[in-house]
Structure 1
Amino acid sequence: MMFSSNYFTCLLLAFLAQQASAGTQNGRSSACPVPGRVNQKLQDLCDSLTNIINGFDCVYDVIAEQCPCLSDPPRCFETKVNTFLAALQAFSTAVQTAKTAAPDDCPDRTGAVFVASCNGTDVAVVDPNGFIQNGFTTRFSVDGLTLESPFDNSDYALDYYRNNFFILICKPMPKGKDYILAQNRGTLMTVSFANGITFSTAENLVYVAMTFDDDSLNGIYTVDRFGDNFVPFCLYEGDIGNIYICGGYLYMSDGQEIIRKPLNGIGDWEQVLKFSEPPLEFVVLEDGRIVFCDEPGGLYVYDPAEEIYKQLKKPNDDCCGSIKVSPCDSLIYVANKDDADIEIYNATSFTFVGSLTYTMSTPSSCPSIACNPTFWYELLKWLSN
């Protein structure tokens, strides 16, 4: 045949990637899928194929006039065009069949949940609908991670750190090579370990909570996505824990407290939460409420405006390893140590939704999770190039 079957796979991938990127504005991804796009994309593809097939009418007129087949040899151009058109019509019929079979309520959730481990370089990937996908590997083991949002037409990137000889790495997604942002050199030669990491979209900066052998250096440090200027955002004398950015504030856990400080650096730290057990992991929602988990395995939400705590899960000896909120589906993902299932909670009603199994083998004793809303769109773009 003039065209292999791989041509149609590439055509489909290229079309879907083009449709996926249609949601970008000013070079920055809208991040979240638009509701109803699944069936609409299939209909758009059907319409495009129909227009291409109908366009062959003029092609036949040109062939008949300028290069008709005197017979029907296999290598005749007209025969090859007919063979291509037959395959294209079959592909169009298959797409129409897929569209007809797609349910009206076909889920629009995209992206993936990444699960990394401090004792290995394999990162598991599970999509929000519960299917374990092919994972990827990092250059170093992962003690903590965060996601960079797109900037200047770039893709998402995974920022992560490894302790025990500290090193901070950036991995462009989905197929980029890891490169070093900072490591044990200069001031960092005295580093003990990093406690947390987060990314500020407004400033395009990675924030890392660090403790040093020299206590006077303890604090929050920043570095840009190119690895320039690893400098202190602020020094801190307390118990430095995990960090999170939301609503123009940098939040940090300090023992039994969660405190915050404006990202503009003006003003002191203020306490927003104090609990009987130290929060191990936490996220801050757009409305200011804080979801956190503690070592006994309890999961809670705190409303600073009402000063009310609500228990989402009773302590059950499942030690919390990592917690993240998806920017698209208002779901909170909680990974517990030595547990292959990620718990899912609704970020509006705070009810238990279900769970995602991220591995069929031994689960991580030190999981770190991240939610990327556009990972599979990016993979489609990469495959279609």
Structure 2
Amino acid sequence: MMFSSNCFACLLLFVLATASAQNTSSSGCPQAGLLKEKLTNLSTALGDINTGLDCVLTLIDEQCPCLDDSQECFETRVTDFQTALINLIGDVANVTAVAPVDCPERTGAVFVASCNGTGSVAVVDPNGFIQNNFTLDENVTRWSVFPNGDTYELDYIINNPLEVRCRTTPDGPEIVIGDTSDPLLSPDAVGTGIAYNPVPNKVYVAITFNDPDLNGIYSFSRTSPPATAVLIFSYSGPTGQIQILNGFLYMNDGLRILKRPLVGGAWETVLTFSLPPLSFVVLDDGRIAYCDRSGALYIFDPVEEIYKQLRRPSVGDCCGSMKVSPCDSRLYVVYKNDADIEIYNTTTFEDVGSLTYTRSTPSSCPSIACDPTFWRIKYFMC
């Protein structure tokens, strides 16, 4: 039996992958303190290997010791391997001792799609690394990305004419689950928002028609494409972006953001502002982050009825889309014609940095999404 550097490298990758697989949470996000824990686990594993080598060398010395000082002797090879291993154990101990305690725990991926590109979706690691992008069959007007076990799924809409599409993973098959072959979806139908409701496994799409009596939220089945559009909630005015959270559906319309229960109830106004909210996201505690056409960014507390400005109005392009990461609960905001994504702490409301999602021309109509499961794919591909 011979030990080689390739074998040793594979062994280390196995140790790291095993440590990664053992540090997951039910949400798909890694536990806090993962860096320090992985380094400690690596030190322990290497120490166990070294202990095993002591036993191996004892057997070799008894049964097949070297009869000369040849470097090709088996015992010499194993001894040299153990010497290199001991040096590595020391190096890992030194690295562990100086591992930063403030290393960001943010993981997952931030996706930025565009309505005027070539279907290409930019992917950036929340710690700052631009990953390989992936390509959808069509450009994205609005989309919904959500975890599904060890992977994730996405649904999106395009217009002119309206289509509702679904893909299981970036490399999976893409299917059309709704289009103008449905008599209800006339050529003038315009999709304005999309959200996934996991309980009935339906995709909800906000659609505006030339005939306002047809406006509303429609559902599409992901299991029997192409599905017939089913009107879930009618709405008398133009529809907007939508979000489903804690049993409610939220939508922006003109100067307002509204909500209604998914079961029963009626539309009610949550907030009214002086300028139309262009994009919004509802936090788990009911607060709403939104931006307007002046470029300003706000957080609204519906309980206290308090508005707080996070970003002042600015000359130039306003925000295009925003999302909260399920792993770090931070707010990610992407602006039109801006390659940098702004990041805000949703507890302190502080600006905590930015990410660059592309080194080329940024989108004039970006649409952002966050996914917590991408970290697994990244770790196992390294």
TM > 0.5 = yes
Q: Do the aligned residues in 1 keep the contact of 2:166 with 2:177 (CA within 8 Å)?
A: no
Unaligned runs of 5+ in 2: none
What is the aligned partner in structure 2 of residue 111 from structure 1? 108
* Mapping 1:249-264, distance limit 5 Å: 249-263=248-262
Q: 1:108 to 1:15 in 2, by over 3 A?
A: farther
- Which residue in 2 is equivalent to 1:329? 328
Q: Following TM superposition, by how much is the alpha carbon of 1:300 offset from its aligned partner in structure 2, in angstroms?
A: 1.5
* Cross-structure match for 2:120: 122
**Which position in structure 1 is the counterpart of 2:349?**
350
**Residues 1:163 and 2:162 are matched in the alignment:** no
What is the alpha-carbon distance in structure 2 between the residues aligned to residue 77 and residue 225 of structure 1? 61
| C-alpha distance in structure 2 between counterparts of 1:283 and 1:342, whole Å | 15
Whether 1:179 and 2:177 are equivalent positions in the alignment is no
SS in 1 for 2:151: coil
2:134 maps to 1:139: no
**What are the residue-to-residue correspondences of 1:42-61 with 2, within 5 Å?**
42-60=39-57
What is the rounded CA distance, in whole Å, between the counterparts of 2:71 and 2:186 in structure 1?
A: 74
Partner-residue secondary structure (3-state), 1:149 = strand
Residues 242-296 of structure 1: CA distance to partner in whole angstroms, max 9, x if unpaired?
0012221110112221111112x21111111111222110001122111111122
Q: Indicate which of 32, 51, 55 corresponds to 1:35.
A: 32
RCO higher in 1 or 2 (8 Å CA, sep ≥ 6)? 1
Change (3 A) 1:119 1:4: farther
C-alpha separation in 1, matches of 2:127 and 2:358: 14
The aligned residue for residue 19 of structure 1 is 19
Deviation at 1:321, TM superposition (A): 0.4
Q: What is the letter of the counterpart of residue 182 of structure 1?
A: I
Residues 147, 372 of structure 2: 8 Å contact kept: no
How many corresponding residue pairs? 376
Unaligned runs of 5+ in 1: none
**C-alpha separation between the residues in 1 aligned to 2:3 and 2:355?**
41
SS at match of 2:138: coil
| Per-residue deviation, 1:59 | 3.5
Contact 2:15 2:45 in 1 (8 A): no
Asked if the contact 1:122–1:136 (Cα under 8 Å) also holds between the matched residues in 2, the reply is yes
Q: Which residue of 2 aligns with 1:100?
A: 97
**Superposed CA offset, 1:14-41 (max 9, x none):** 444433443556xxx4233322221011
| Aligned match for 2:291, one of 285, 293, 296 | 293
Contact 1:221 1:230 in 2 (8 A): no
- Distance in 2, Cα, partners of 1:98 & 1:55: 23
- Partner AA of 2:319 in structure 1: C
Whether 1:207 aligns to 2:204 is yes
Which residue does 2:305 correspond to in 1? Answer: 307
Distance 1:5 1:65, change over 3 A: closer
Aligned to 1:376: 375
Report if aligned partners of 2:19, 2:41 keep a CA contact under 8 Å in 1. no
TM-score by length of 1: 0.84
Given residue 206 of structure 1, which amino acid in structure 2 is its aligned partner? V
TM-score for both structures, normalised by structure 2: 0.84
